Structure 1
Amino acid sequence: MLSAEIAEYYRRGGERDRLAEGQGRLEFLRTWDVLTRVLPDPPAEILDVGGATGVYAGPLADAGYRVHVVDPVPEHVAAAATRPGVTAALGDARSLSEADASVDAVLLLGPLYHLLERKQRVSAWREAGRVVRPGGVVVAALISRYASLLDGFVHGFFDDPGFRPLVEHVLSGGVHLGGVRRDATPERTWFTSAYFHHPAEVAAEVTDAGLVVERVVAVEGPVWQVGSGLDGILADPDRTALLLEMLRRVESEPSLLGASSHLLAVAHG
């Protein structure tokens, strides 16, 4: 299960509202856009591993999918289970209780963030491949190796002397060590311990788990660096539609992968 530090971060609600506005809202819209193009048609059965409070499971259920959330945080499971059409249970991405070839698609939209060792991440991919039906799709979210470096300048985090060591550690090996900000409150704590992927290493992890990589795409691309200006864009339906259309056109461009805050890897069993 999760380490005490990571579990406490989520129990405090550190990610509760992250996908509601600005950069987080763009992440949600882009992830949803990709899912609508790669998932099988409803009423396919989807296993949402690390699905937290059901931020994606809820809309998927509304769209007609049968969705089951597995998450290691009890509070997340309780919240996800209140969403209409969604079931939820405690579980670990590295050792799923689901039977072999029992679902049509698996989402890993969080677990790989917090598996700091490569063998653990491969185990999560392998478990996803075990429970998905032959030819089924597995979609996983990853944090980009350069996300904290860029975020530091977008939001002025480098003003805190404790931030640079976190970035240096990520750049040297991909591991982000959770830290406390100088103005620490539950809402002002640096992101908890996580692994930030280099785009070039994703395919090898997937392949080692016995899956076939279809593609790796940039979620936000470099546009998330607009910062607070994103709110104005996303408040306008026409500008939002244009933004999503243009990002869709360049989502697989290799030269832009490292500039995105998040990546999505799409694989098949």
Structure 2
Amino acid sequence: MSDPMRPRAALRTAVVWDVLKDAVDGAGQTLDVLDTGGGTGNFAVPVAGLGHRVTVVDPSPNALFALERRAAEAGVAARVHGVQGDVHGLFDVVGRESFDVVLCHGVLEYLDQPAAGLGNVVAALRPGGTLSLLAAGLGGAVLARALAGHFSEAREALDDPEGRWGAADPVPHRFTAAQLTALVADAGVEAGAVHGVRVFSDLVPGVLVDTEPGALDALLRLEAAAAARPEFHAVATQLHVLGRKSPARD
């Protein structure tokens, strides 16, 4: 199977994939994985390619159709199951404490009640299971608006409790690393690694990456080097938290 992180899409997904791959590869067994809002399978299909069973819950039938086709093309159709649903109605379509790993990527920022939605996501995990959470970062949005010359919008995002830059902002919520790890802790998950995602790639002109020899690989290496450094979390477009649900008590 081809590398899902190459070439251009790597700038958006490589850091998360590297962390996630290490987490599921190191398990030493076949895992039951849930991908909430997994869409067309950007992560689900590669995870299935590692030998794991993946259930994708997504509200879009078109995305699930594309997922089915993509899984078949990758030769992992038997290990990928798509079902229509959403996080708030999660237990209408999957069981509680049924999964070893749950992915919640690009979902939390669009929920009316992020804490309640995250609570459902964590409730789908077995005790001791792994949560992979990816959500929109506040600092990256402020920086992007400022660099685009929208200084008032940048200030509004900076001051707004939800990190929004105005009524036309398509993202309902953005988070700092501290806010995201606090949400995770409140949901019963111990946050481990926190990574900044797309620290530089959204700010670099695309023509430079596409035309300059070696630029893409160099930028990928730079993103990987900066991702785990806390000083760059404040300017990342997205934040990724890998955590472990509290084990069951005797």
> Which bracket does the TM-score occupy, shorter chain normalised?
0.7 to 0.9
Match of 2:47 among 49, 60, 79: 60
Alignment partners' CA distance in 2, 1:223 and 1:91? 32
Check if 1:135 corresponds to 2:131.
Answer: no
TM-score scaled to structure 2, two decimals?
A: 0.78
1:139-218 map, 5 Å: 139-152=132-145, 156=148, 158=149, 166-172=153-159, 173-176=161-164, 177=166, 179=168, 192-218=170-196
Q: Corresponding residue for 2:100?
A: 104
Q: Which shifted more, 145-154 or 134-143?
A: 145-154
Deviation at 1:54, TM superposition (A): 1.4
Shift in Å, 1:232: 4.4
Matched, 1:254 2:239: no
Instruction: Check conservation: 1:47, 1:68, Cα contact below 8 A.
Output: yes
Contact 2:197 2:238 in 1 (8 A): yes
> Is the Cα contact below 8 Å between 2:38 and 2:105 reproduced in 1?
yes
Give, in whole Å, the separation in 2 of the partners of 1:75 and 1:224.
27
**Shift in CA distance, 227/34, structure 1 to aligned 2, threshold 3 Å:** farther
Distance 1:48 1:209, change over 3 A: same
Tell me: CA distance 1:267–1:149, structure 2 relative to 1, closer, same or farther (3 Å).
Answer: same
Pick aligned residue for 1:51 from 38, 43, 48: 38
Unaligned residue ranges in structure 2 (runs of 5+): 72-76, 246-250
2:14 aligns to what?
29
1:88 to 78, 82, 93: 82
Equivalent-residue separation in structure 1 for 2:28 and 2:172 (angstroms):
33
Q: Match of 2:133, SS?
A: strand
> Which residue in the other structure is 2:205 paired with?
227
Post-superposition CA distance 1:172-229 (Å, at most 9, x none):
22343562xxxxxxxxxxx623311112211111111111111211122335422322
Of the structure 1 ranges 240-249 and 80-89, higher mean CA displacement relative to structure 2 is found in: 240-249
| 1:79 Cα deviation after fit | 2.0
Secondary structure, counterpart of 1:255 in structure 2: helix
Partners of 2:143 and 2:154 within 8 A in 1: no
- Relative to the length of structure 1, the TM-score reads 0.73
Q: Is the 8 A contact 1:107 1:140 kept in 2?
A: yes
Maintained 8 Å contact 1:222/1:256? no
Measured at CA, do residues 112 and 82 of structure 1 come closer, stay the same or move farther in structure 2, by a change above 3 Å? Answer: same
Deviations 1:78-97 (A, max 9, x none): 22233322221122213312
Deviations 1:53-91 (A, max 9, x none): 212212222232211111122322222233322221122
Measure the CA separation in 1 of the matches of 2:171 and 2:225: 33
**CA distance 1:75–1:168, shift in 2 (3 Å):** farther
Contact kept in structure 2, 1:21 and 1:231, CA below 8 Å: no
Report % sequence identity. 25
| Alignment partner, residue 14 of structure 1 | none
Whole-Å separation in 2 of the counterparts to 1:224 and 1:194: 20
Q: 1:136 to 1:241 in 2, by over 3 A?
A: farther
Relative distance call for 1:199 and 1:207 in structure 2 (3 A) is same
Distance in 1 of aligned mates of 2:156 and 2:68: 37
CA shift in 2, pair 1:53/1:218, >3 Å? same
